[in-house]
Amino acid sequence: MIRILSKRRPRERGFTLIELLIVVAIIAILAAILIPNFLQSRASASVAASKSNMRNLATALEAYQADKLRYPATLPNLVATYIGSIAPDPCSATAYSYAVDADGSTFSLSSQPNPWTSNCKNVVPGIYYTPSGGLQNR
């Protein structure tokens, strides 16, 4: 009796085409919802990391200025004494742009994501830091 009930008919060997199409459609809908959210959160994390790196650089620059009464001509002058290493910008994978005025009394530090290759292209067009204005978006 059990053998008779557990025995399948020859045409009932697997899933029907309709069942498989429904499963594939559900997976596609879930992927369409989740992938953009994942990419947006990844870009937001890159922007947050970039802002954190710029704050660390700005703190090292302020410490340098407090010791020497001027800002350094280039960022590598900070390494070893004021900061362990200069992290690259996660948005563009390049160094931050740094400029100091002629008398060394003020500086600007900026991140300008490349609109074609950046992880941050849809989040913020650029971030910059100045001693008087702090960290700001462009």
- pTM over 0.85? The answer is no
Is 1 domain-assigned? no
Q: Are 128 and 108 in contact (CB under 8 A)?
A: yes
Tens digit of pLDDT for each residue in 20-36? Answer: 999 999 999 999 999 88
We report the CATH number of the domain holding residue 54 as: 3.30.1300.70
Phi/psi of residue 28, each to 5°? Answer: -65, -40
Domain tally for the chain?
Answer: 1
Tokens of 88: 């690259």
Q: Are 71 and 98 in contact (CB under 8 A)?
A: no
Sheet holding 97-100, edge to edge: 97-100, 107-111, 127-130, 134-137
Q: Show Cβ contacts of residue 138 under 8 Å, excluding neighbours closer than 6 positions.
A: 110, 112, 124, 125, 126, 127, 128
User: Which residue has tokens 């913020």?
Assistant: 124
Is 103 domain-assigned? yes
Tens digit of pLDDT for each residue in 88-135? Answer: 888 777 788 888 888 878 888 887 666 555 556 555 556 767 776 777
H helix or E strand, kind and range, residue 107: strand 107-111
Residues forming a β-bridge with 16: none
The pLDDT of 32-56, averaged and rounded, is 84
The pLDDT of 3-23, averaged and rounded, is 75
pLDDT at 58 over 60: yes
Q: Are 91 and 113 in contact (CB under 8 A)?
A: yes
Is 7 domain-assigned? no
Is 116 domain-assigned? yes
Is 77 domain-assigned? yes
Say what the pLDDT of residue 7 is: 59
**Which domain does 100 fall in, by range?**
16-137
Is 8 domain-assigned? no
Is 5 domain-assigned? no
Is 88 domain-assigned? yes
